Amino acid sequence: MREFVTDLLHRHGDDVPAFSSRHTLTHGALRAAVSAEAKLFAAAGVGAGNVVAVRLPPSFTRLEVVLALWVLGARVVVLDHRSPPATRDLEHRLCRPQYVVRASGRFGDVFRERCELVTERRPDGAPATTRHRVVQVAGTRAVGRSTESVIREVVRYSAARGVARRGERQLLLPGFGPVGGLLHALAEGVHLVFPEDDSAAAILRAAARYDVDVVAGLPRHFASLVAEPDRAALRGVRAAYAGGDPLPPEVADGFARTYGLPLGEWFGTTETGVLALDVSGRAATPLGDTVLRVRDGRVEVALDESPYLDEAVGSWSGGWLRTGARGGFDVRGNLRLDHT
């Protein structure tokens, strides 16, 4: 990841906007912040192959920390800052981080541009022994992805029809994956906009303030926009798509009726990232090098190797990952998910 992320960080000019919430962070300021964080982590002993858990609230700081750790060659374990103590203990046992980066103080779901960091060294941690460079915990399983897996997702996502392009502004709502959001934006020069929280009022306020072109989030975000409509706030939006959870037909229909814009759908898993995407509101098109099949009514995706840190667990076998999602293919080969 080190070379890949370093290249992404240097693709755009100093004055080009990178992220916005209450304020805007340029690519020049982002590079400086990532460099400063990397030096601090290196001084604390973090280096290539170390496992570092990042348990931070949504913030510019969290984005900078993740990028800095990748630049150092570390394995980044992305954890929810709201997890209760019992869940935290399980996550640490599954991932065995050598360091934990957390915020000083308590934070809820509000997007904070900045938070003060506390870095703790854990004596029970262990260095990475597999190629996974980004790890998340799904239930009782530690799910990892290699550098190659991440790069392939960035390439196929960037080639998808309708996603945000260079110079466009994308409203990125909580729950959207780090690749489809952060790394795609760095690769393409997309200006990411984050609302102060995920209420309909905050989403609409951010969309109007920055006149966003694309909106991506969870179905519940779009349900709230239907329940508390403000068509003028999304007047400049050309594409919107939901994923992460099943998209109820009534939410898609309500959004299209309220805003005069189809609500598309993206499909993916923690193990793979985005696999299929549609912005037309019809059916999701499998992306790039993705190979999908439907077996016994369930969607499966071809994977060369197990995405689990412990290969004895999980839903991967014989080169196929069983996603658990129900669906099928139409006559054009597009994926239609069954949300009944």
Which of these, 166, 176, 169, lies nearest to 210 by C-alpha position? 169
Q: Strand 141-146 relative to strand 335-337: parallel, antiparallel, unpaired? A: unpaired
Cβ within 8 Å of residue 48, ≥6 positions away: 2, 72, 73, 74
Burial class (CB in 10 A: 0-12, 13-18, 19+), 280: middle
DSSP 3-57: HHHHHHHTSS-TTSEEEESSSEEEHHHHHHHHHHHHHHHHHTT--TT-EEEEE--
How many C-beta atoms surround the C-beta of residue 256 within 10 A? 15
Q: Determine the topology of domain 150-286 in CATH.
A: Rossmann fold (3.40.50)
The answer to whether residue 109 scores a pLDDT higher than 90 is no
Domain ranges of the chain: 2-139, 150-286
pLDDT 10s digits, 226-268: 999 999 999 999 999 998 888 999 999 999 999 999 999 988 8
pTM: 0.93
Is the CATH number of domain 2-139 3.40.50.12780? yes
Q: Which two tokens stand for residue 230?
A: 């403000």
Cβ within 8 Å of residue 134, ≥6 positions away: 1, 75, 76, 78, 144, 145, 150, 178
The answer to whether residue 178 scores a pLDDT higher than 70 is no
pLDDT 10s digits, 140-173: 888 898 889 899 889 998 888 899 999 999 999 8
pLDDT 10s digits, 273-285: 889 998 887 778 8
pLDDT 10s digits, 294-317: 999 999 999 988 899 887 667 898
pLDDT band at 1 (very low <50, low <70, confident <90, very high): confident
Which of these, 65, 16, 322, lies nearest to 188 by C-alpha position? 16
Q: What angle do CA 167, 188, 33 make, to 5 degrees?
A: 90
The answer to whether residue 225 scores a pLDDT higher than 70 is yes
Q: Of 29-33, 75-79, 105-109, which gets the smallest average pLDDT?
A: 105-109
The answer to whether residue 175 scores a pLDDT higher than 80 is no
SS3 101: strand
pLDDT 10s digits, 12-57: 999 999 999 999 999 999 999 999 999 999 999 999 999 999 999 9
The residue ranking higher by pLDDT, 32 or 136, is 32
Question: What are the angstrom distances between the C-alpha of 305 and each of 145, 158, 301?
Answer: 10, 24, 12
pLDDT at 302: 95
